[in-house]
Amino acid sequence: MRTIAPLAHQRGLALVEAVITLPLLLFLMIAASEFTNAFVQHTTLTKAARDAARYVAEEAIDGSLTVNLTTALKNDTKRLLVYGNTGGNGAPAIPGLNTGNVEVNSVGANVVEVTVNYPYTGILGSVLPTFGFGSDISMLFNLQATVAMRAL
């Protein structure tokens, strides 16, 4: 029958286990928060694009039931997507988003399309560290949301 080793032989074992598992757990925690942040920002972009498309679809139709996208209407739509209002007041829905990231087009058959491209940068910056377990992961990528609606 084996006897249980005295505690003196196991001293420091918990420290060794922590040193082995801590980098993996830290990487998983950072990766999960980066993924969550990217998901939330993409959802925010999609909702803003949907609201802007609904606005332009309602305002773009003229008396002859054709789409008429004026420069003023395009600019109002861009400001609505970025700031949440047509006046362009307040902070952007996502930091760094501006009206230059938004396109408003008529795609034919009385359909208008709103597209937003947002250069995503991670919470910790442009690189997700792997703590020596391979090459670092770039966190620079483009989030895009496109919504098309028939003008009413």
Q: Which residues of 6-24 are buried (b: 16+ CB within 10 A; e: fewer)?
A: eeeeeeeeeeeeeeeeeee
> Between these two residues, 149 and 3, which has the higher pLDDT value?
149
Nearest-5° Cα angle at 34, 28 to 36? 100
Check whether 79 has a pLDDT greater than 90: yes
Instruction: Judge whether residue 67 has pLDDT over 90.
Output: no
H-type helices in the chain, by residue range?
13-59, 71-83
How far, CA to CA in Å, does 133 sit from each of 62, 124, 127, 129? 60, 18, 14, 9
pLDDT by residue (tens digit) across 3-25? 665 666 667 888 888 888 998 89
Strand-pair partners of 104:
114
Question: Residue 108 burial by CB count (10 A; 0-12/13-18/19+): exposed, middle or buried?
Answer: exposed
Q: What is the pLDDT of residue 47?
A: 96
pLDDT in tens, 105-139: 999 888 999 999 999 888 878 887 777 778 888 87
Over residues 11-66, the pLDDT tens digits come to: 788 888 888 899 889 888 988 998 999 999 999 999 999 999 999 999 988 777 78
Handedness of CA 44, 50, 55, 56 (dihedral sign): positive
Provide the whole-model pTM: 0.79
**Predicted pLDDT of residue 66:** 82
Mean pLDDT value across the chain? 87
The 3-class SS string of 49-83 reads HHHHHHHHHHHCECCCCCECCCHHHHHHHHHHHHH
